[in-house]
Structures are given as structure tokens and as C-alpha cells.
Structure 1
Amino acid sequence: MRKEIIGDCTLYLYDCHSMLADIPDNSAIVSDPPYGIAFQRGVGGQGKHSVRNRKAIVGDAHPFDPAIWLSFPEVVLWGANHYAQRLPHGRWLAWDKLAGVPEYDDFSDVEFAWIKGRGKDRIFSHLWKGICKASEKGGKERWHPTQKPVALMERCLKEVAGSPIVDPYMGSGTTGVACAKAGRQFIGIEIDEGYFNIACERIRKAYAQPDMFVERPAPPQQLSMLGAAE
């Protein structure tokens, strides 16, 4: 096991299933777990991703069983439509990845998160598909095949009030970045050392440059008397 403490974020390089008993009972689970994409797609689940790390995701070759996380008081799990039959009644957050842009590829235009408890289903619209992104446009290639935008995970944090926020399948650390920006306590667990190192780097940068994921406004343009920008 390797442990890193960065601000209010505590990160573990370890198998989350092996440290389940060490996760505080009052934790809010917010995660995008491996849910069998490779298993469902066949052919190794390999697709065209503009990511720096193309290796297989640990655990993604088998269907996901969410049972061990359902006892926590607050839970937000992405990709839940792929294992909905294993979930109790809850509510849904639908992420509209096109945000009004016409569909243009063969990949899904929407992703779904299951949220524990009763309430209204919600939609979050945020363009983030292929090279088209409404945020983090100045960043480098994506670090993880299933990486989510920080804006989406910030939206997820609004669904939970508990502390700490725990992401047992931390990946490249987007949930941790959102927590760092929001001043929320975070525990992240990742089994893959490469992704763990990326998460540590991104979270450090989030503390050092809290506005690094905020789009800078376009510089003002002077308008001519005819109304056209000069």
C-alpha cells in the first residue's frame, strides 16, 4: 500500500475491496467504477480514445457488482445503466454529453449515474465528447479512457452532504480535483500505479492552481458602428 496526503485529500494505491473495512461508515461514495465495458464490447473493449494511457482498466473485463457500496448512507455511481438490475430503487442523473450539439459519432450521447435514495431525476448538460469540450479545453490529452470532466463531478458533489467523499475507483483523480476545488474532504483509492500517479499530480495542481480548470473569458472585442467586431 502507498499513501499520499495532499491538502484534504488522502490517496491510497491499493485494492479498494481489501480496505473496505477502513472506509468510514459515514462516507459518501462518489465514483465511476469499472462496469464491464471490455466484457460487453468484446474485442478487448478497445476503442478510439484520445488518451495518454491506453492500457486496460483493472476490473473492466467483468460485470460490476455494486453490492458492497450500497450500505453507505450516500452513493453516486456512474455507468449504472449497465448494472441497473443489481441496484435498488433510486434516482438518476443523466449527463447529456452533447449539450445541444447534433449527434456526430457512434458513441453514446448520454451517461447515467444512480443516486441512492428517493427524489427527482435530473439532467446535467455539458459538452464533452471526443475533441469537443466545453471545459478544460486548454488541457492535454485525456489521461483515462473513461475520464469525466471536473464540472460533472462538481455537479455530483451537490448530491451528497456527507464527509468524506470516497472514490474507491479513483482513476485519474477527477473526483479528487472537484473536492479540492470545493474544499471537501476526499479519500481516493486506485489499484493501478500509473493512474494513481496521474491522480496525485492533478490533485496537487488543483490545490496549487485552484482556477486551472476554469475557462478564461474571451478578451473583449471592440465593436464598430455597424455592430461587427473589429
Structure 2
Amino acid sequence: MRVEHIGDCTLYLGDCRDILPTIGRVDAVVTDPPYGIGRDGKPRSSSRHGGHKGYEFRGWDDGRPSQETFSTILSLASSVVIWGGNYFADLLPATSKWLSWDKGQRIDQADAELAWTSLSGALRVITLNRAEINQDGAVHPTQKPVRLMEWSLAQINASGVVLDPFMGSGSTGVACVRRGCGFVGIERDAEYFDIACERIRKAYAQPDMFVERPAPAKQLSMLGDE
């Protein structure tokens, strides 16, 4: 296992099933788990919309997280956002405040994606063109736009320390840096872990001048990590 500390962010290279039980409570969880639909890679394509780059299939989307993993996640925070919630509806409690990302294009892919939240309230929708992923720098086959993750944080009024146990390329971490939150990320793929570290370092190097930085976030450490 490897641990990187970058600003108010603590990043773990490892399996969240091993690491989550060692982490204390956090202020919020915002994550985008594997859906179990085989989207861990995709061939390159081209179209009048610009197409997308290709990604090696790595096998991490062969199955979705277990009921035990979701139970552990829900025990760590009262405010939780889980993208792809429609794939996990049988594993999560009923709730009223769902989030919807309208991707701003009507092509031969999903028009929108859904996120489950632990909170009560009205369903909320954001329209954000999927092309923003390319503007962020597309590096992951299921990458979410950073602005979408910032909006997700705002919908639960996230502050303090935010956890993402399926960090991928680090979009949630970048959003946390921009919002002024602390961040704990876990990723088991070494290449994506390194990409996430680099993106978060760059986010600190190019801070949002309109965000007032809070006092340093409380530090979370894994048992045995000094």
C-alpha cells in the first residue's frame, strides 16, 4: 500500500475493501463506483461530435461493489452521493433527493446519469455538456467533469473532509481542492492513482481565487500509517 499527502488530501493506493474499515468518520462521501457493466475500457471512436479516445480494458468494471462495501461507506458519513445510483438501487436505502446530470447532447449514448444521495429533498438536475470531460483532460473511461463533482459537493453543502473510495483519476479530489475541502481518496489501479495525484497537485498549483481557503482540514490516517 502507498499513501500520498498532498495539501489537505490523503490518497491511498489500495483496495477500498481493505482500507475503508480503518478510516474514521468523514464529513461527506462523494463517489462514482464501478457499475458492473464492463466500461473499464473502450475502443477509440470518431464522430461529428468529436468522438472519444480509446482506453485499455482493465477488468475493474466486471462487477459492482457488494452490499457490505456500501454498508461500510454509509456508516462513515451522513451526507453521501453515489453516482450510478440506479445500478445499486437494490443495495441502497430508499431516498428522495436524487441528482441527475443532463449531458447536454442527444446522441447514441445515455442522455443523463443519476446519483443516489442519503439526503431528503427534491431531485435536482444539472445540464452540463459531456464535452467538458475533454476540457478537463480526458484520462479515464468513466471520468466525470470536475464541475459536475463540484455541483455534487454543493448539493450536500459539503465541508470538512470528503471521501471518495473509488477515486479513479481524481475528479472528486480536484473538486474538493477548488471548494476548499479536505479529501481522502482510495484507488487500486496504480496508473490512475498516479494520474489522480498529478491532477490534485495541479489543482493546488492553480487555486480558484474566488474560494476562501479554510483552516487546514483535520487529518485522517490509516492504522499503522505515521
Q: TM-score range by the shorter chain?
A: 0.7 to 0.9
**Equivalences for residues 97-176 of structure 1 within 5 A:** 97-98=103-104, 101=105, 103=106, 105-128=107-130, 133=131, 135=132, 138-140=135-137, 142-158=138-154, 159-176=156-173
Partner Cα distance (2:174, 2:59) in 1: 20
1:221 corresponds in structure 2 to none
Asked if 1:181 is matched to 2:178, the reply is yes
**Alpha-carbon distance change, 180 to 57 in structure 1, aligned in 2, over 3 angstroms:** farther
Asked if 1:93 is matched to 2:99, the reply is yes
Partner Cα distance (1:193, 1:82) in 2: 26
Work out whether residues 80 and 114 of structure 1, in 8 Å CA contact, stay in contact via their aligned partners in 2.
yes
SS in 2 for 1:84: coil
Q: What RMSD, in angstroms, separates the aligned Cα atoms of the two structures?
A: 2.3
**Alpha-carbon distance change, 26 to 204 in structure 1, aligned in 2, over 3 angstroms:** closer
Identical positions, percent = 47
Partner Cα distance (1:147, 1:57) in 2: 16
**Equivalences for residues 62-73 of structure 1 within 5 A:** 62-65=63-66, 66-71=70-75, 72-73=77-78
Partner Cα distance (1:45, 1:204) in 2: 25
> Residue type of the partner of 1:189?
I
SS in 2 for 1:86: coil
Partner Cα distance (2:37, 2:101) in 1: 18
Work out whether residues 33 and 166 of structure 2, in 8 Å CA contact, stay in contact via their aligned partners in 1.
yes
Aligned length: 197
Partner Cα distance (1:52, 1:172) in 2: 16
**Alpha-carbon distance change, 89 to 53 in structure 1, aligned in 2, over 3 angstroms:** same
- Normalising to structure 2: TM-score of the pair? 0.79
**Alpha-carbon distance change, 108 to 8 in structure 1, aligned in 2, over 3 angstroms:** same
2:21 corresponds in structure 1 to 21
> Residue type of the partner of 1:147?
Q
Give how far 1:35 is off. Answer: 1.6
**Alpha-carbon distance change, 47 to 70 in structure 1, aligned in 2, over 3 angstroms:** farther
Work out whether residues 74 and 116 of structure 1, in 8 Å CA contact, stay in contact via their aligned partners in 2.
yes
**Alpha-carbon distance change, 52 to 23 in structure 1, aligned in 2, over 3 angstroms:** farther
- Normalising to structure 1: TM-score of the pair? 0.78
> Residue type of the partner of 2:150?
E
Partner Cα distance (1:5, 1:51) in 2: 31
Work out whether residues 97 and 110 of structure 1, in 8 Å CA contact, stay in contact via their aligned partners in 2.
yes
Work out whether residues 28 and 160 of structure 1, in 8 Å CA contact, stay in contact via their aligned partners in 2.
no
Asked if 1:4 is matched to 2:1, the reply is no
Give how far 1:57 is off. Answer: 5.0
> Residue type of the partner of 2:102?
D
Partner Cα distance (2:188, 2:203) in 1: 22
Give how far 1:48 is off. Answer: 4.6
- After TM superposition, the structure 1 stretch with the greater mean CA deviation from structure 2, 45-54 or 27-36, is 45-54
Partner Cα distance (2:171, 2:205) in 1: 15
Partner Cα distance (2:205, 2:139) in 1: 19
**Equivalences for residues 47-66 of structure 1 within 5 A:** 48=44, 50-51=52-53, 53-58=55-60, 60-65=61-66, 66=70
> Residue type of the partner of 2:103?
K
> Residue type of the partner of 1:67?
S
In structure 2, the gaps of 5 or more residues are: 46-51, 209-226
SS in 2 for 1:202: helix
> Residue type of the partner of 2:128?
H
Give how far 1:47 is off. Answer: 5.2
**Alpha-carbon distance change, 179 to 45 in structure 1, aligned in 2, over 3 angstroms:** closer
